[in-house]
Amino acid sequence: MPLVCWFEECRKEAVPLVGGKCASLGELIHAGVRVPPGFALTTEGTRRFMAEAGIGEEVRSLLAGVDVEDHGALEQASAQVRAAIEAHPFSLEIEDLVAECYRKLAVRCCVPALPVAVRSSATAEDLPGASFAGQQDSFLWIRGVDEVLSHMRRCISSLYTARAIAYRANRGFGDAEVAISVGVQKMANSFTAGVMFTLHPANGDRSVIVIDSNFGFGESVVSGEVTPDHFVVNKITLDIIDRRISQKQLCYSVDPLTQRSRAMEVPFERQRVQSLIDDEITELAWMGKKIEKHYGCPMDIEWAVDKDLPAGGNIFILQARPETVWSAKSQSAAAAPGGSAMDYILSAMLAGKKVT
């Protein structure tokens, strides 16, 4: 098994090798969706790292007999495990492979010391009845191979956060049943970013697409630190049928001095400005329909609008995974209170509104 591989070499069947997140990115690339390029340290690479560093036995010893209901003891064991993992360097073989891939990625993107997102990708992120998504760490705007390697170790160690250990134990998963890969992806220099659902996450209505957005990186939206702008789009006509522009007081962006992602205050005059223009909303919704059709199910999607690229080619999909809440219910149980997409079209026609 390879220790590293490029996203375009992966398909959705590659989850055991590169985890759910990286496998999904490879699948999107093959589906013709615009995705920032990148590569992954595979689950075999992380296993090799753990074995060569001799950490496996140390981890098992530290976690043996820990009561997951004892939060203090669990946090202490987690901190010891994570410190042990992060203190061990990669082997020269893995360092060289990662450094060469990072160099090729920088050349491919024509940016020296390319800023990247270093993202955990576990093999059990979206299992039926158990969602591990969001339990492991990801890091934004990382530059230079030494920093990339350091944050890769932090991603691996995040498999042993107290929350992740407790969740696995409560769901009956052994530590050996969940492996982790680490993706290294070109960072989209986001003017705006956020999430998109190809159904309504509040009521399961499959006739609409819902988009939440804020300025800067999508971290503020995903973490819930701000109330984002909210748009509801008719899935057939791509009309915007509802919009709510919120007061967005903070966003995550790059500090020009430290070259690190950090929370920044949005200037007062921009706080109530719509963070996505209507053309971008329409294009995002169209991309969402394409992704949903490819996967054959409602999707939960992260996206970004890159401010360094011209309009028409600057919207990127950063992650897409099947929606797991409403998709598990019957479609009749997820009926929309406002009616179907066809109801919307007919009412618009009766009102004399153009719906093409």
What is the mean pLDDT of the segment spanning 153-176? 86
Asked if pLDDT for residue 180 goes beyond 70, the answer is yes
Fold match between domain 4-186 and domain 190-350? no
pLDDT of residue 144: 96
Among the residues of 110-144, which ranges form H helices? Answer: none
- The yes-or-no verdict on residue 211 having pLDDT over 60 is yes
Percentage of the residues of the chain whose pLDDT score is greater than 90: 71
Least confident of 30-34, 110-114, 171-175, 182-186: 171-175
Q: Of 333, 355, 338, which is closest to residue 346 (Cα–Cα)?
A: 355
Q: Which CATH superfamily is domain 4-186 in?
A: ATP-grasp fold, A domain (3.30.1490.20)
Maximal C-alpha separation, the chain? 71
Contacts of residue 130, defined as CB under 8 A and 6 or more positions apart, other chains included, come to 124, 167, 171, 173
Q: Record the pTM.
A: 0.86
Look at 346 and 58; give whichever has higher pLDDT.
58
What pLDDT shows up at residue 259? 86
- Give CA–CA dist 108/119, Å, rounded: 20
Domain locations in the chain as residue ranges? 4-186, 190-350
Q: Under 8 Å CB-to-CB from 109, ≥6 apart: which residues?
A: 37, 186
Superfamily of domain 190-350: ATP-grasp fold, B domain (3.30.470.20)
Q: Are 69 and 147 in contact (CB under 8 A)?
A: no
**So what's the pLDDT on residue 336?**
46
Whether the pLDDT of residue 354 is over 80: the answer is no
Q: Could you report the per-residue pLDDT of 81-105, keeping only the tens digit for each?
A: 999 999 999 999 999 999 999 999 9
Q: Which of the four pLDDT bands, split at 50, 70 and 90, describes residue 256?
A: confident
Residue 225, token pair as written in the block = 């630190």
In the predicted model, what is the mean pLDDT of the chain? 89
Quick one: pLDDT at residue 133? 53
* Closest CA relative to residue 287, chosen from 201, 175, 209: 209
- Which pLDDT score is estimated for 129? 47
Count Cβ atoms below 10 Å from residue 45 Cβ, excluding itself: 28
Angle between helices 145-157 and 43-53 (to 10 degrees): 90
Q: What is the pLDDT of residue 128?
A: 45
Mean pLDDT value across residues 123-135? 56
Confidence of residue 346 (pLDDT cuts 50, 70, 90): low
Give the C-alpha separation, 174 to 46, whole Å. Answer: 17
CA distance readout (Å), 63 to 227, 244, 265, 277, 315: 39, 47, 41, 50, 43
pLDDT above 70: residue 350: no
What are 297-341's pLDDT values in tens digits? 999 999 999 998 998 899 999 999 999 888 767 554 444 444 555
pLDDT in tens, 221-242: 999 999 999 999 999 999 999 9
pLDDT score of 120 more than 90? yes
